[in-house]
Chains A and B, each alone.
Chain A
Amino acid sequence: MNTLDALLLISLLTALASGLGQGHRLIGWITALLFSLQFVAIMVMGSLGYGGAVVEASISLSIFGHPVSWRFDGLSWFFALITIGAALASSIFAAGSWAEDYRKHGGKPGLLQFAIALNVFTMLLLLASGDLLTLFIGWELASWSSLLLMMVAGGKAKNFALRYIVYATGGAMAVLAGLGIIFQLTGSFAYADLAAIAPSLSTLQIVSLSILFVFGFGIKLGLMPFHLWQADAYAETPGPGAAFLGAISSRMALFAIAVVLVQLIGLVKLINIEIPFTFLSFRDLLLWVAALTIIFTTFTALRQNDARRLLAWHGIGQGGYMLIGILLLDPLGSAGGLMHIFNYATYQAALFLAVSAVIYRTKTADLNQLGGLVTRMPLTFLVMLIGIIGLAGIPPMNGFVSKWLIYRSLIVEGMPLLFIATVIGTLGTILSVYKLIHNTFLGQLRLEHEQIREVPWSMLLPMLVLSTVVFVTGFMPGLVLDWVVAAQAALGIPQVAHHLGGIESAHGSLDMIWISGVLFSGFGIGALLFYSGNKTKHVHQLDNYAGGHFLTADTRYHYTNNFYAGLMHYIGSWYRNSFQWLESSLVSVVSLLSGFTQILFHSFHPALFLLITATLSLYFFAG
């Protein structure tokens, strides 16, 4: 029994324990404990993150003559670390007071823990896949366990989960078709066989395989035009579950795309395939799909009035950055894409947990019904502040570093329009995250929130740890870049040269240690200047100017609704809900067709069909 066996076994045990002991009061803590064991196990395998040798699982089977096996390499380890980390944080958050409260309101915290544990186990199976068959099995298992997690909340969430699983099955079927094609070409599901024939694939084969895999896996990522399901489904999942889903679940798509398209088929060939009558190569097309995903979803997020939905929509957009990075294939871009997965997971989990903490205290995530909470929940505010700086990609948090790598790579590759698209996405993100923190924590404190206190430590701890990670890996990105390089090596793409502070290059380098250091010294000077001024007097929030009115506590004057009124006045009419329309018209078409088929069954005597078919088939053969 080696470390990988142990990891998978503990993971299975976690799922079983949380599944069987659902009703128990302490199950949350037990699950969290088991998750920390998993975390220890992944740490024991740490050498993989620094280029260590591949670890093979002891179990291997042969089904229908196809050998199946599981193993871990640098890429798997990188994803597994994020997965288990996110699960651990969510599980601790959901274990203590949150669970009590959730149970009191009719929820099932044990089921939530079970769903998370099951997700982790299936994801680890996916990450450990050693051939295309196990990859697909892991993929499907992970997809269906996400369904369970999305359904935990019940009620409305079930409908969103249903929508998810229909999209996900569509994707899985595309992948299955792709696997079928590969099997037809190689006669096996082994990675090595696919890699061996990859150089001899024809253009048509490469294009059809890429389309099947990128969109098949990409549905999980919320790639346009299959992005509609994600935000609702994630947002309606109970807080810690949403944090886990948002942080890592949909990133499994990137793992699969990286393995199949980058590692095995070799993406380089896509660059050479021109699309007729355009200036675009086939890879450009995929890049543009990712870029449009960034822009559309980010600006959809800007319009959300529910904190969870706002974050969930951003999650889709951030996936676009990662895909662009990986598709860029150069050392900088792919490092940026991979690193963004880690960075994003840390701050997205922190943000979802912070929003859950707000919901825990206020029972609402409606951005028009909050405000002023900073005085009541300062630490949660701090977590959210660090999180949004990361999400917006502003120094000194880690989100900036990975985005910088992607920008830099787009400049080096000479892709102006894509560069602009990614920056537009970032700018939109800045606008929308400010709205998030402003509407929640700043401005007027509502009367009913006067008595609110900070959330308990069991909830604060994971949030604070996550924000520390966001900060530390922003200060010293080299910590993560080491792992990213191991993942790049596993994928067989050139590795980025880096040091603890960032990137060293003749054409523009980045040293976050210096930049953060100088920034914080700057803050120090700012503080020095500030406190050298005369002594301040703190006044009550109602004691201000507010357009010349005298304010009272029951007057609501927090400026929240339609926060970017001026901008929306201009771009508001650009939101056309075309994709919603597309989706509903597709459903209508199916509905129409099925009505037609049912009419055929109902309105005519079956004997008529029998005669018609007999005649037709006789005509076919004899006529």
Chain B
Amino acid sequence: MNETFLTITEVIMMPIVAFIIGLFMVLMMRKLAARIQRRIGPGVFQPLYDIVKLYGKQTQISHGLIHDIGIIMAVGGYVAAVTLLPVPGMNGIADKGGIITLTYLLMVPSLGLALGVGQCANPNGSIGISRALTSMLAYDIPFIIVIFGVATHFSSTSLVSIIAAQQVGGFGTWGISEMPLLALAGLFALHASLGKHPFEIYVAPAEIATGPMVEMGGKFLGGLFVMQSFQLYAASVLYVSLFLGGGENWVTFLLKCFAVLIIPFAIAYLFPRYRTEDLVRLMWKWPVMLALLGIAFVMN
């Protein structure tokens, strides 16, 4: 009983922590973009202010119940998903479902968003979702190969034991030093999953007027902002858990998490956008090849 109580406490704590860290990740992203563009960038609490402002706006346009439920699913799905990601001191329900469960649970928010956007009856939104799902098909293939490689290497699908195994021998037993090819392929997939340039095909403001976001205003957009902070958090923590030894303590953990994101963020603002088919072609070529090579090493 005590154990269950502890788990429930963790399950409540983890999304809160994740949200806060996620907000700072958004901040980092925006600061980085500003520095690259030689601006000063927003203040520390700007991401939070944005969300509060959007939730409090007067005009809140809903296109129907599914529109509302879509946003609820999008946020709620992430709230649930982050409890599967162990952080220092808290395992949440990570031992109740491993990386495969996490991978598929991460699709729930996307599905929710897709439903909500569909209900808006805006062709731009639908095109956006069609592109988003296409890009998911593109980056999930290398990603899933990476997952297989890691699971095989540690002969476990539980993130808790994967992290434990990496922390045995310091950097030498980290995923990145034992499986560099997989780590590289994983980074590709991570970048694409964030939907930032050059993989920003489903937002594409100039083509489809921000796609899924086209009918979103007020707390709907606010929900998407919340979702974004969770998304950044989930992606980086997953990568850290798979390749960078997870978190020994909160300091190294946060350092690693933010460091992981710097790479895609830095690249993102230097490149223009791919076309959909080019994205698919790219993701199915290099990352897949790297990852396959990676598992060839892992399996021997």
Report which A residues bind B (CB closer than 8 A).
Answer: 371-372, 374-375, 378, 381, 385, 389, 392-395, 400, 404, 407-408, 411, 414, 416, 419-420, 423-424, 427-428, 430-431, 434, 437-438, 441-445, 501, 506-511, 514-515, 518-527, 529-530, 532-539, 541, 544-547, 557-559, 563-567, 569-571
Contacts and interface: CB of A to CB of B under 8 A. Distances in A.
A510 B76 contact: no
Given A522-B78, A557-B123, A534 B60 contact: yes
B222 interface: yes
Given A371-B121, A389-B111, A538-B63, 12 more contacts: A393-B104, A411-B148, A411-B151, A416-B148, A420-B141, A423-B144, A510-B101, A519-B105, A539-B61, A545-B122, A547-B123, A547-B124
A534 B57 contact: yes
Interface stretch (B41-49, B125-133, B184-192): B125-133
Given A533-B222, A570-B277, A395 B108 contact: yes
B290 interface: no
Contacts of A569: 276-277
B118 A525 contact: no
A414 B298 CA distance: 11
Contacts of A534: 55-58, 60, 218-219
Contact of A515 (B63, B97, B115, B133): B97
Interface string B32-76: 000000000000000000000011111111111110100111111
Contact of B130 (A394, A535, A566): A566
B173 interface: no
A404 B111 contact: no
Contacts of B181: none
28 contacts: A374-B66, A393-B104, A394-B104, A394-B108, A395-B108, A404-B104, A416-B148, A419-B144, A427-B136, A427-B137, A427-B140, A434-B111, A438-B114, A442-B119, A507-B157, A515-B96, A522-B81, A523-B72, A524-B76, A525-B76, A526-B223, A529-B223, A536-B219, A538-B62, A545-B214, A546-B123, A559-B130, A565-B130
Interface residues of B toward A: which range?
35 or more
Contacts of A434: 111, 114, 129, 133
Contacts of B55: 529, 532-534
Most buried by A among B62, B84, B121: B121
Interface in B75-106: 75-81, 83-84, 93, 95-101, 104-105
B1 interface: no
B280 A570 contact: yes
A526 B141 contact: no
A394 B209 CA distance: 29
Given A414-B299, A527-B76, A430 B107 contact: yes
A567 B280 CA distance: 7
Nearest to B226: A529
B145 interface: yes
Interface string B197-216: 00001000000010000110
B120 interface: yes
Contacts of B196: none
B299 A567 contact: no
A337 B123 CA distance: 39
A604 B295 CA distance: 67
B167 interface: no
